[in-house]
Amino acid sequence: MKLSERLKQGRPTASPPPPGTDPGLSLRMLQEPVDDQRPVDPLAGLKERTQDALFARLGARLFDPTLNEEQLRAYVVQEIGVIMEAELAPLSPAERQRLMSEISENVLGHGPIERFLADPTVTEIMVNSDKAIYVEREGKLRPTDSRYLSQEHLRRVIERIVGQVGRRIDESSPMVDARLPDGSRVNAVIPPLAVDGPALTIRKFAKDPYQVDDLIHFGSLTREIASLLAACVRGRLNVLVTGGTGTGKTTMLNVLSSFIPGDERVVTIEDAVELQLHQPHIVRLESRPANIEGKGQVGVRDLVRNALRMRPDRIIVGEVRGGEALDMLQAMNTGHEGSLSTVHANSPRDSLARIETMVLMAGVDLPTRAIREQVASALDLIVHISRLRDGTRRVTHVTEVEGMEGDVVTLQDIFLFDYSAGIGDNGRFLGSARPTGIRPKFSERLADQGITLPPGVFGAVDALGDGRVGAF
């Protein structure tokens, strides 16, 4: 006899349908999915009842800081056993063990997304309330057959995640950025902002961060670009990484940071800590939201100002998105060369317009020309990354900021992506970023510091020459 049939036998008999109705209608309504084609889990009802009873019995003890993980897990398993005995469900030992394991995972872990968090091929997890869970593999979104039991179940998981890093989420503060213990970035939105129920997005980061050789192997950049970027970082040029959402800006920032000499003091500033640096002398700063009374907020701009008093050799701002752009430009122009940051933008030229707009968000009434002079003086190099149609992330522009001509900041492309190479049989672009043949003006500045570039960097085809492609 199937499990679902055994469970039905243990339930009370349903009352007969009202006269004049189809006797099979109510049964079909229960059996047929309404909103989706999710698979039927015969244990779903028992699992939900057991979880609700468990939360009712334990309450705040689930979050007791005096209990370590092993003690709490043993306590939860014991209580689950008591509750299941009361259910009198006709389960085999294997089914009972499976149910206890899944409930423990749901209560103490992250529920149905736990297996995706452990899967190294999954780079992003998107939970749309209790209706659907999508994952990203190889740059492509794919639906899954996993679901949360209810919106309340998802809400408890979100509260547990944000509580671990000292953040909060409730009706007065219904969205939050947080991180998991492994560094993965979490964004959560709950009602009333999320109309259809809580939404959870997790962007995973590799436990072992990608190095420059990995990106070369993936085809995301060439050896010539890697050599140029390493020289620019060692030569203390100010580098801006630009691109759209999910293009790999943080990964590239990690790679650029790896070129910083180990004897320099590095201060990183982020909204939610994502960078994974391995220099011995590093200070990591993270912004803080306001408390429930609306006080105590410390923004990225406050941290940038404070970092200037910490005697940094390098300042790395995880992402510039507001008035801190002005303070970052001021730092770059006042003796803090070699700073790195990222900006959301669709092209190198667009990134300059965005920075100009963000400087105005600082509340300082500066003329447009003065802002552009600050930008032209502060920035030396822009590295633009794009997510192509095939799902891969590629460096498509390496652009020098030359200076001012009239009221316009002049840019010069050093490398550009070769779209003319076409698309291979596997549907991926065959091209790579090729040198334009123009030698940047800052090459003389690097030479004055004794930093030499390999011959042919600005005029030869890339060293790979085999059209390898990939994604990071």
Q: Are 134 and 141 in contact (CB under 8 A)?
A: yes
Q: In the prediction, which pLDDT does 127 show?
A: 95
- Average pLDDT on 455-463 reads 63
Taking alpha carbons only, the member of 282, 214, 280 closest to residue 248 is 214
Taking alpha carbons only, the member of 378, 355, 376, 359 closest to residue 367 is 359
- Is residue 148 packed enough to be buried (19+ CB in 10 Å), middle (13-18) or exposed (0-12)? buried
Lowest-confidence pick of 62-66, 135-139, 320-324, 406-410: 62-66
What number of CA atoms fall less than 13 Å from residue 51's CA on the CB side?
24
Amino acid symbol at 244: G
Beta partners for residue 285, in sequence order: 269
pLDDT in tens, 206-251: 777 788 999 999 889 999 999 999 999 999 999 999 999 888 898 9
For 151, phi then psi, to 5°, come to: -65, -35
Q: In the prediction, which pLDDT does 13 show?
A: 45
Beta partners for residue 177, in sequence order: 187
Contacting residues for 311 by C-beta, under 8 A, at least 6 apart: 265
More confident residue, 469 or 411: 411
Give the C-alpha separation, 51 to 107, whole Å: 7
Q: In the prediction, which pLDDT does 44 show?
A: 66
Q: In the prediction, which pLDDT does 285 show?
A: 93
Question: Two tokens at 269?
Answer: 């500033």
- Band (pLDDT 50/70/90 cuts) for residue 65 is low
Lowest-confidence pick of 28-37, 94-103, 309-318, 323-332: 28-37
Sign, Cα dihedral of 459, 461, 464, 470: positive
How many other β-carbons are positioned within 10 Å of the β-carbon of residue 335?
7
Ramachandran quadrant class, 59 (left: phi over 0; alpha: psi -120 to 50; beta: rest): left
Taking alpha carbons only, the member of 414, 326, 334, 435 closest to residue 372 is 326
Q: Are 314 and 260 in contact (CB under 8 A)?
A: yes
pLDDT in tens, 130-142: 899 999 988 788 9
pTM here is 0.73
Give the C-alpha separation, 340 to 321, whole Å: 14
Q: In the prediction, which pLDDT does 343 show?
A: 95
Q: What is the mean pLDDT of the chain?
A: 81
Q: Are 147 and 132 in contact (CB under 8 A)?
A: yes
Beta partners for residue 267, in sequence order: 283, 315
Taking alpha carbons only, the member of 216, 140, 203 closest to residue 395 is 216
Taking alpha carbons only, the member of 291, 287, 282, 242 closest to residue 261 is 282
CA distances for 319 relative to 275, 282, 344, 381, 442, angstroms: 11, 18, 8, 16, 25
- Average pLDDT on 406-410 reads 93
Q: Are 277 and 324 in contact (CB under 8 A)?
A: no
- Average pLDDT on 264-269 reads 93
More confident residue, 21 or 158: 158
More confident residue, 183 or 68: 183
17 alpha-carbon distance from chain centroid: 51
**In a 3-state reduction of DSSP, which class is residue 82?**
helix
Q: Is the pLDDT confidence value at 459 over 60?
A: yes
Question: Two tokens at 325?
Answer: 């752009």
Q: In the prediction, which pLDDT does 349 show?
A: 95
More confident residue, 14 or 414: 414
- Average pLDDT on 431-451 reads 90
